[in-house]
Amino acid sequence: MIEVAQPFDMTTKQGQDAAYAFWEPYHAFMRSDDGPGIVLRYLLDYPVDRKALTFAYGTAAKARDKVMSDPVIAVLHEIAEDGYCPDDVKAAGVVSVKTLMREVHKKPGGRRMGAEEIAARVDRLIPFATNVRNAQHVTGYAQRVDDGMVTVKAVAESRQRGRQLGALAEFREAVAHVTQADYADGKEEWHAWCPPDDVHDAESVGTDKEDIPF
């Protein structure tokens, strides 16, 4: 049973004596040779999720606010939910920096961010992401008819600088520490991005003209 300290009237001798008697066991413990060491060892051995401390938003509501207010996290959240990277037709978990910039600029506040800042944010949030030079960046869509069937083909720049985001499960775990979202949908591997069925339904894929030196 936990003993709760009662209010003491420190203006009287009786109240001062009662307060001293209540706290004396604590002070005696801390004055002892091994008391402080016991407290320190307890704190050092206490299990801590360091990743949770890094992104300690406390509640799911705060995490949602963080996603909505940070355009880079919003894009990474969508990638984790979808299980594929935009423009990644090979299902390699690869996204170009130009594509990241395009997607970030669609989000509120995203247009203030340049390619270098976006790439740096991704590298901080996904520290195991690796630099690649084989990413694809879709710049538009072309519609063609083959044997009466209408198909849409992506027009893309190849051999672009970008990031490989690791294994899908590893990437989702890293993003979940920030967003507190549950991405467990049974998918274990990245899957391929596909162009829209109708070119008229495609969103604009234009990208600001900015050199990508990294």
pLDDT, tens only, 75-90: 999 999 999 999 999 9
pTM of the prediction?
Answer: 0.65
Supply the pLDDT for residue 2: 46
Q: What is the DSSP letter of 128?
A: T
Supply the pLDDT for residue 35: 84
Q: Minimal CA–CA distance to 177: which of 75, 80, 110, 93?
A: 80
Cα(120)–Cα(111) distance, rounded to whole angstroms? Answer: 16
**3 state DSSP class of 68:** helix
Supply the pLDDT for residue 129: 97
Supply the pLDDT for residue 57: 52
**3 state DSSP class of 94:** strand
Which regions of the chain are under pLDDT 50? 1-2
